Amino acid sequence: MTSCPFCKNKEIEKRTIVRNKFAFAFPTNIPIVPGHSIICPVRHRETINDLSPRELKAIFDLQKRIRNALQKTFGAKGFNYAWNEGESAGQKIPHFHLHILPRKKRDTGVTRYEPRKFLYRPASREKTPEAELRAVAALIKKNLKI
């Protein structure tokens, strides 16, 4: 796809950290913390479910390598991983990409990571009754394809 900023982008090619047959990794141009990197499939694919088993394996092989390198390079004590899927979930570039952020005490940039602020309902945070949770699980199981 020629309009995709991850496909055949000369700037990204110049800053690619590592590449294998199916995936590549590079530092993002708008990092949350130093070392914030992105891992993408080589083929233009929008969602994780669009990836082949080989592409998935290649991405997670690079995740291990990048994680270790970020740990050594930045003294990371933890990591944030994220991907958005679909415009309604915040995916701005329709090419699957896994963010990896090295984290340590006294990080600069965005330091307060609270997934409940953007993943969950913003108002009430009461526990959901067990009966309701079991009913939701039953609904999902009914549509589960094995």
The pLDDT, as a whole number, for residue 120 is: 47
Give percent of the chain with pLDDT exceeding 70: 81
The pLDDT tens digits for 115-137 are 545 444 455 556 667 787 677 77
Q: Which residue among the candidates 36, 95, 97, 99 is catalytic per the annotation?
A: 97
Domains of the chain: 10-142 (3.30.428.10)
Calpha distance 57→65 (Å, rounded): 12
The pLDDT, as a whole number, for residue 62 is: 94
More confident residue, 141 or 125: 141
Is pLDDT of 8 > 50?
yes
Q: Strand, coil or helix: what is 88?
A: helix
Looking up tokens 């992105």 gives 38
Could you tell me the pLDDT band of residue 108, with boundaries at 50, 70 and 90? low
The pLDDT tens digits for 23-38 are 999 999 888 888 889 9
Show Cβ contacts of residue 94 under 8 Å, excluding neighbours closer than 6 positions: 4, 46
Give catalytic status of residue 97 as yes or no. Answer: yes
Q: Residue 1 has which token pair?
A: 């796809």
**pTM of the complete model:** 0.78
Highest mean predicted confidence (pLDDT) among 7-21, 23-37, 48-62? 48-62
Is pLDDT of 47 > 90?
yes
Task: Please state, as a whole number, how many other Cβ atoms lie within 10 Å of the Cβ of residue 72.
Answer: 10
CB contact at 8 A, 25 and 37: yes
Calpha distance 8→13 (Å, rounded): 7
